[in-house]
Amino acid sequence: MIVFGLISSFFDFLTFGALLFIFKAHEETFRTGWFIESVITEILVLLIIRTQRPVLKSRPGKYMLIASGAVILILYTLPLLAPNYLGFIALPVKVLGCMMGIALLYGLTTDITKRIFFNRMKWQ
């Protein structure tokens, strides 16, 4: 769990760095980008760590996929539907793409780390 926590912290700093130093994000952009990246990574981690198998070889249950898809759909529409209530804005395509890229890299790193962990457990 310590390793997964360190990975999560690394990608948090990567997200902060991208938003602050690359995109020079103002408060609403930062808040929206951070929210989107955080929720996507949590869904990915949920799908990745639920089984020992690689994520692409382990199909989750129908209801888990439906729930994950619904959360992602709400996630992307929330900044458009309720911007004044939550302080979100529609993100520029470059910022949204970067957040998605960071989330996917986080998911890949988590899946590789999980495989290393379970391979080491076999040898103990």
- What residue segments make up the domains of the chain, in order of their start? 2-122
Of 49, 30, 29, the C-alpha closest to 41 is 49
Q: What pLDDT shows up at residue 57? A: 84
Average pLDDT over residues 79-100: 88
Nearest CA to 11 among 109, 89, 91? Answer: 109
Alpha-carbon span 68 to 16, nearest angstrom: 25
DSSP string, 22-69: IS---HHHHHHHHHHHHHHHHHHHHHHHTSSS-GGG-PPPHHHHHHHH
C-alpha 119 chain-centroid distance: 25
CB 108 within 8 A of CB 2: no
Q: What is the pLDDT of residue 71?
A: 95
Q: In the prediction, which pLDDT does 83 show?
A: 65
What span, in angstroms and rounded, lies between the C-alpha atoms of 68 and 47?
9
pLDDT in tens, 20-74: 999 999 999 999 999 999 999 999 999 998 888 887 788 888 999 999 999 999 9
